[in-house]
Amino acid sequence: MSRTQGAGRAAAVAVFLAAVFVAIPWAIASTGRTDLYYTLSSVALLAIASGGVWLTFYIGRINIGQGAWALAGGYASAVLVATYGWSFWLSLPAAGLICAFASVLVGLPILRLRGVYFSMVTLVLTEVARLTALALPITNGARGITSIPTPGPIRLFGLTIVPAFDSLAEPNRAFYFLSAAMMTLCFAGLWRLVHSRLGQLFAALRQNEDLASSMGVNVPLLRVVAYAISSFLGGVGGAIFVAIAQSIYPSSFTINDSVNFMLNCFLGGLGFVFGPMLGTLVLYFGWDLLFQTGPYQLLIYSGSMILLMLVLPNGILSLLNLRRRAP
């Protein structure tokens, strides 16, 4: 990478951080639209889960089951906090790890499948997770888990680093910063992963698994690792979502959510690490804008998606490549 490219990337990162952590909160405070904190927090958390789906695309698997891991992560955090009295801050990584461990058990058999067969199995996973949440006593069935405590303080050597969210005048603002920070860490980690040796091996799986295996690459292990990371991100996103809503039900994440996680990746661009982030933003606000069209909302939405796939098959971010190639 040249020095000019490095400077350009550093400038882009600085602009992004300034926009997310300075400009947006300032704009919301100026306009008084504090309801946007919840909206933007939702976008950030959906982007995290979509980032996990993107990673499975990166190894050549079409994953339509991320809603299952978001639901599992949400329930894991809710049970640990509401039932066992854990701190939210400890339940957050625990929820991700529980999902990652469960995904290893599930992934060992299903990751042998390819193409539409793998997609069909992952699609079923979300419904299996919903039915499991309905059946287990610890999840309270259809009643769900409500009145989940908000995140408490983080103290270090007697100093309060992060105050309890319920002590703040605007808790949604704190959730926004939490969600935005987790989204930033998630995609920074994905970018670093893709540009590491492990990421190169993942790319080799996408291009030709048989060839990679013939060269000594442990293909089954890499598939499981990628799926575990993907599920970890889904679980973390679901856990924070539940903390914001302070409740969770078996219908909190459905098959529609799993499909949308996949569409976010397609819309933003499968060839770009930050594609899911942009795709989530466009899809979320685009759907809300089309609400004004009433009964034509779904028709216009479907037609727009088809048109975008025809005009920009590699996603919105592929426009960057077109601009670079222009004389």
Residue 326 in this model has a pLDDT that exceeds 60 = no
**Mean per-residue pLDDT, 7-23:** 89
- Say what the pLDDT of residue 177 is: 96
Q: What angle do CA 73, 79, 85 make, to 5 degrees?
A: 125
- Report CA-CA distances (Å) from 110 to 131, 146, 181, 189, 273: 20, 34, 33, 26, 25
Residue with tokens 């809300």: 288
Whole-number percent of the chain with pLDDT over 90: 69
Backbone angles phi, psi at 60, to 5 degrees: 90, 25
Each residue's pLDDT tens digit, 246-288: 999 999 999 999 999 999 999 999 989 999 999 999 999 988 8
Each residue's pLDDT tens digit, 29-83: 999 899 999 999 999 999 999 999 999 999 999 899 999 999 999 999 999 999 9
d(CA 256, CA 264): 12
How far is Cα of residue 79 from the mean position of the Cα atoms in its chain?
A: 21
**Mean per-residue pLDDT, 105-115:** 89
- Indicate the pLDDT class of residue 5, thresholds 50, 70 and 90: low
Whole-number percent of the chain with pLDDT over 70: 96
Residue 325 in this model has a pLDDT that exceeds 60 = no
